[in-house]
Chain A
Amino acid sequence: MNRFLLPINRRPGEGRDPLFNRLGRGLVGPGLRRDDEEGAGSLRWRAVPSQAKAMILLAALLLFVVSLPPVAAAMQIQPVTGASGVEAWLVEDHSVPVVTIRFAFPGGAALDPAGKSGTASMVASMLDEGAGPYDHAEFHRRLDDLAGQLRFSAAQDEFDGSLRSLTRNLPGNADLLRVALAEPRFAPDAVERIRGEILAGLARQAKNPRSLSGRLWMYDAFEAHPYGSGVEGTEASVAAITRDDLAAFAAERFHRRGLTIGIVGDIGKAEAAALLDRVFGGLPLGSDDSQIAEAKPLDDGALVVSRAAVPQSVVTFGQTGPKRDDPAWYAAYVLNDILGGGGFRGRLMKEIREKRGLAYGVTTQLVPYRHAGLIVGSVATENGRVGESIALVRNEWQRMREEGPTAAELEDAKTYLTGSFPLGLDSTQHIAGVLVQMQQDKLGIDYLDRRAGLIGSVTLDEARAVAKKMFDPAALSFAVVGDPADVKPTRPPKQQKF
């Protein structure tokens, strides 16, 4: 029971490097995990102690911190091109007999037809329901016997997939991936079964304070723009999706133009090239005709409340942030860590958790959509005191705008962000995800060698200037779900039900 399902961690979500926070996450709302609906997911929350006195100590210690080892020294990224012209980035690692391939097609849930939001997400759930010569049962029998780990997911701006395989089973698993993309069946009975699962999931999310808070915030921020809807759509839109819509999505979106691929593990360059041809070579070239309008969150500084009979109010907050290609990205990235980073690093964590015990965790992150940028965070506090948490978030937003970071905070954040990143590159899946993200963001194949320099070169003046421009308490908006006692809404939410 819960002793195994719920190891209790001390501290909230270290999450992933926000530079790569989009891949495979398919955010329902800002910063919300989608994989713990049953309450069984073990949240990797964190936080850390800190007191004023410690800061003096820290400043002293800083003098002794020497430079860290070069980023990802052990990792060599090679470009690979198949005879078909399909390209990928490859990292060879023969220490474990496992290969992971991850990829992203451009264009995701934001391209769902009007009134049919949730189409891309439903396609993701359907691809292993039977494809090519294999019906549902045969497809899964093969996949299970080959112990293949095949996953698809839709995000707003891309459609993601991944396959992890034992080396010896790679040919068979790659064949399943190929037919899943090229010849999905979308059998009517499977469409209805999956539709039922999705609708049940939506109903569950609508009752989940965390999901609801994120969705309220996103809808308030973007309204009718596709980013205002969750990737899974609504009860009405999911009900409207037809088999033809799913087939049309697969036919139109699964093409080679704009496709980005990362391969990692026990495979050589020539085999990787052959794998690319085999899996992706037969897809049409296609065209990248993405026509998503640029969007900007409302930023009206509103505080909206949706009443729910729970003891703890869940709050999502945020405003406009930088897009990934913004020149201010690296400064914003460091500032985000100083304000809302996990561990002892974040000012919010110090003020809200460590000093006052108002929450288990409070973190912020940059959410760089292709056509909009956000900085969002969340905090959960008992109904009677949630107003204090909200006031503290506002204070820190204001303080960051006015004062920016201190020199010590800036150096600490830079050291942490450059030093911790390569430590996470320990699994084929994680590394392959990074390879895909780097290509999507057009960062260059040598990005990992330059990353520490890009972060390290953020100056105090630059950070302060970006802070003054970026953090705007008048734009900072809140969506609260719960029964808060000490909070007054400024207006009703633009939409109550999802």
Chain B
Amino acid sequence: MRRFWRSWIVVLGFLLLIAAPASAQRFGAETFTLANGLQVVVIPNHRAPAVTQMVWYKTGAADDPRGKSGIAHFLEHLMFKGTRANPQGAFSALIAQNGGRDNAFTTEDYTAFHETVARDRLDLVMRLEADRMTGLVLDDAAVLPERDVILEERRMRIDNDPSALLREQLTAALFLNASYHNPTIGWEHEMHGLGTADALAFYRDWYAPNNAVLIVAGDVETAEVGTLAERHFGPLAARPVPPRIRLDEPPHHASIRLEMKSARVAQPSWRRYYLAPSYRAGATQHAYALQVLAEILAGSDGSRLNQALVLDKGLALTVGAGYAPSALGLADFGVYATPKPGVAIADLEAAVDAELHRILEHGVEPDEVARAARRMQASAIYSQDSLSGPANIIGTALVLGRNLDDVAAWPDKIGAVTPDEVQAAARAVLVERNSATGILLPERTS
């Protein structure tokens, strides 16, 4: 079904799901650590004769050295360029020839590589991942064309899309000093200067068995994974890794407003982000209540913002709210709306503020908290309905310094959130001076 406001919520919901783990008992996950510090997690799933392997590195764009924004993501691309044992393209070629799929992704806090193969090919993909954990070989011939690729990727994701450009500016404005100030893909002018030496330096700093988590999900048993992991990753030596520094924010004394006009914008939109705690930074006691707050605001058709702005007052076409606490440093809490044609942004914003103030002043109802929690707990069950869902949830938790118990406890923690805690979290976070508001407007051209 096609519903624009919903696509926003669905995306946020999905990310929340990734950020917000379901019961580890239900996943049946087991973990152990090799002598070199590599943590291994096995998630048995016997639905199909397949396995997904993921190697998560505890480093991301927030670790990019100053002036080298984008290097973590660039290195992720370059990890496919080859090693002595598996030169130039052999990695993905081998996997495809064995009927498998592989890919990778980078966020601000972590970088992950993953393969899905028939269960009897686990040995192969483990050998390949272990090989490139320490054996990467790069030269300019491989690196420079790939730099053009990430520049095209930036144009595609950011520069061609006014909404993404505004989001990038807002992020930089909201995080005055925190490590998430720069975009994951990098600023274009700095991307042009990234080179082989930069990539290798980042690789040597961060890619080591003691800075990684290996996850194997699928039709396997723990003992078998243990044997293979020992064989392939066991021989790699632990190395000192720099501390992951996530800078804090100074007090904000002024709220931020950014307005952007573009001829590529069809209709206005409004969004606001507040600095927020994560599971790991800031007032972390609010992390669960804030997830419930986001669900109450915009997680369902009858949610407060949708009910008030879309259904009752007819001011908005779409609304959304999002909060993902899975970050090493501070997170943000976002609210979003697009006005119906003819509705002034100021009126839309006033209506959103009225709903937020209603919560700040009067709190939320026990019934809406309970219903929100039940929906979120259902999502924890749905997350088991795939091979990659549990692997993503567990991987995200572990690379952020959380553990399987945290993952297991998520449904209960959500269920334990009280109306008072939701109000307290809203009061702690929905603070005007800690916000950045972005307004995107069409620019009429001849």
Residues of A within 8 A of B (CB): 1-11, 14, 26, 34-44, 46-51, 53-54, 57-58, 61-62, 65, 68-69, 72-75, 93, 95-98, 100, 121, 124-125, 127-128, 136-137, 140-141, 143-145, 147, 149-153, 164, 166, 193-194, 196-198, 200-201, 203-204, 206-209, 232, 265, 308-312, 314, 343-345, 353-360, 380-382, 412, 415-416, 418-420, 422-423, 425-430
Contact = CB atoms under 8 A, between A and B. Distances in A.
Interface in B62-91: 73, 76-77, 80-82, 87-91
Given A49-B142, A344-B96, 4 more contacts: A36-B7, A38-B7, A54-B93, A204-B4
Interface of B: 1-5, 7-8, 10-12, 15, 19, 45-50, 61, 73, 76-77, 80-82, 87-94, 96-109, 116-120, 142, 144-153, 155-157, 159-161, 163-164, 167-168, 170-171, 174, 180, 183-185, 263-267, 273, 300-302, 310-311, 314, 317-318, 322, 324, 326-327, 332, 334, 338, 340-341, 371, 374-375, 378-379, 381-382, 384-388
A311 B88 contact: no
A11 B167 CA distance: 22
B3 A125 contact: yes
Nearest to A209: B160
A426 B327 contact: no
Contact of B385 (A98, A143, A357): A98
A34 B300 CA distance: 21
18 contacts: A1-B273, A2-B183, A3-B180, A4-B326, A10-B103, A11-B104, A38-B7, A73-B49, A128-B1, A140-B302, A145-B371, A197-B4, A200-B266, A312-B155, A345-B96, A353-B149, A419-B118, A430-B386
B101 A147 contact: no
Nearest to A100: B385
A476 to B, nearest CB: 22
Contact of B88 (A51, A93, A125, A380): A51
A75 B324 CA distance: 36
A141 B302 CA distance: 7
Contacts of A354: 89, 145
A81 to B, nearest CB: 26
Contact of B152 (A69, A140, A265, A380): A380
Contacts of B11: 5, 38, 40-41
A9 B105 contact: yes
| Residue from A8, A125, A151, A194 whose CB has the most chain B CB atoms within 10 Å | A8
A416 B90 CA distance: 15
B96 A152 contact: no
A379 B174 CA distance: 34
B92 A193 contact: no
B264 A95 contact: no
Contacts of A426: 45, 47-48, 50, 386-388
A348 to B, nearest CB: 14
A419 B99 contact: yes
B61 to A, nearest CB: 8
A61 B98 CA distance: 10
Given A39-B164, A356-B145, A2 B184 contact: yes
A418 B145 contact: no
Contact of A2 (B149, B167, B341): B167
B101 A75 contact: no
A97 B382 CA distance: 9
A26 B7 CA distance: 15
A96 B427 CA distance: 38
A461 B81 CA distance: 34
Contact of A310 (B3, B118, B160, B163): B160
Contacts of A204: 4, 266-267
A54 B87 contact: yes
A212 to B, nearest CB: 11
B152 A34 contact: no
Given A1-B273, A37-B4, A38-B8, A11 B103 contact: yes
B48 A203 contact: no
Nearest to B166: A39
Given A9-B103, A46-B103, A428-B385, A140 B153 contact: no
Nearest to A421: B99
Nearest to B300: A144
9 A-B pairs closest in CB distance: A419-B99, A357-B148, A147-B378, A48-B92, A140-B301, A312-B155, A357-B145, A54-B89, A50-B89
Contacts of B160: 209, 310-312, 314, 380
A425 B48 contact: yes
B152 A4 contact: no
| Residue from B167, B168, B371 whose CB has the most chain A CB atoms within 10 Å | B167
A151 B7 CA distance: 12
A93 B80 CA distance: 36
Given A196-B340, A357-B146, A380-B155, A7 B105 contact: yes
Nearest to B145: A357
Contacts of A201: 2, 4
A430 B257 CA distance: 43
B159 A95 contact: no
Contacts of A75: 48
B267 A8 contact: no
A447 B103 CA distance: 29
Contacts of A422: 48-50, 118
Contacts of A345: 96
A416 B99 contact: yes
Contacts of B310: 193
Contacts of B159: 310-312
A180 B291 CA distance: 31
Contacts of B8: 38, 40
B89 A144 contact: no
A309 B264 contact: yes
| Residue from B118, B156, B167, B386 whose CB has the most chain A CB atoms within 10 Å | B156
A69 B88 contact: no
B9 to A, nearest CB: 11
Nearest to B70: A8
B379 A4 contact: no
A8 B149 contact: no
A413 B99 CA distance: 9
| Residue from B81, B82, B153 whose CB has the most chain A CB atoms within 10 Å | B153
Given A10-B103, A310-B160, A426-B50, A416 B97 contact: yes
B322 A4 contact: yes
Nearest to B269: A38
A24 to B, nearest CB: 10
A384 B297 CA distance: 45
